[in-house]
Amino acid sequence: MNLRTCLLLFFAVTNALGVEVDGEAFLKSLNGSKTLRGKATDYELSGASYRTYHPEVSPSPDGGLFVSVRIDHMRGFLASDDHASLEITVSPDGAIVAAQSSIALQGLTISSDLIKGTASASNTLSYPGVDRAVKIGTDLVADLSSKMLREKIVEPGRVTFPAAIRHNYNLLFQALKKAQDTVRPADAPKPVTAPEVKPFQQTPTPPVPAQPKK
């Protein structure tokens, strides 16, 4: 049996997918209106208008994911929109292990540090690594907010941009789920037909011919 046949047989029996992102559920959780043929959602947050796009997902060699989300601050018809990116690294068990974000404001780019978390002992069945995810999200927004404060940003929608990123981060975490392993049941073995065994029959003894009388 060659290598190709072995691989085909292996994947036919089990297809372990690890962790995945429910992009549709993520966009729906923003409670906005779909746009761009369902590829994004527009919504209001803290009096400002934002648009979030469907997550871009790439698998990592260890079975985890790298997830990138684009978020726009929609400033109106007479002004150029601001743009932000949110990137998270997810472990194979569905826990966020790192995150980074950047905001582009008309020529000014503000980027956070790469925020990494340490393993947490507090896990739940539905959301592993909750404490770690909360810590990463808090540190991410704090880093962005402090850098924006140094730039003296005062426009309301821009000031609340880090909060919008945190809002997306929280909902994206909830959209992570463990993929169900797809296992195809093996074909049942065909019953073996036993050879028919007839009961033993004794061969009758032929009668002895009578002797003529003398």
Query: For 141-169, how does the pLDDT look when each residue is reduced to its tens digit (9 = 90+)?
Result: 999 999 999 999 999 999 999 999 999 99
Q: Residue 72 in 3-state DSSP? A: strand
Q: How far is CA 202 from CA 88, 195, 205, in A?
A: 84, 21, 9
Q: How far apart are CA 25 and CA 170, in angstroms?
A: 13
Q: Are 115 and 138 in contact (CB under 8 A)?
A: no
Q: What is the pLDDT of residues 96-122, one digit of tens each?
A: 999 999 999 988 999 999 999 875 444
In this prediction the pTM is 0.73
Structure tokens at 113: 């540090």
Ramachandran bin of 139, using left for φ above 0, alpha for ψ from -120 to 50, beta for the remaining angles = alpha
- Rounded Cα–Cα distance for residues 112 and 102 (Å): 6
The predicted structure's pLDDT at residue 138: 96
| Paired residues of 58 in beta bridges | 66
Start-to-end CA span in the chain (Å): 85
Rounded CA separation 147/151 (Å): 7
Looking at the predicted structure, is the pLDDT value of residue 4 above 90? no
Map out the domains of the chain as residue ranges: 17-183
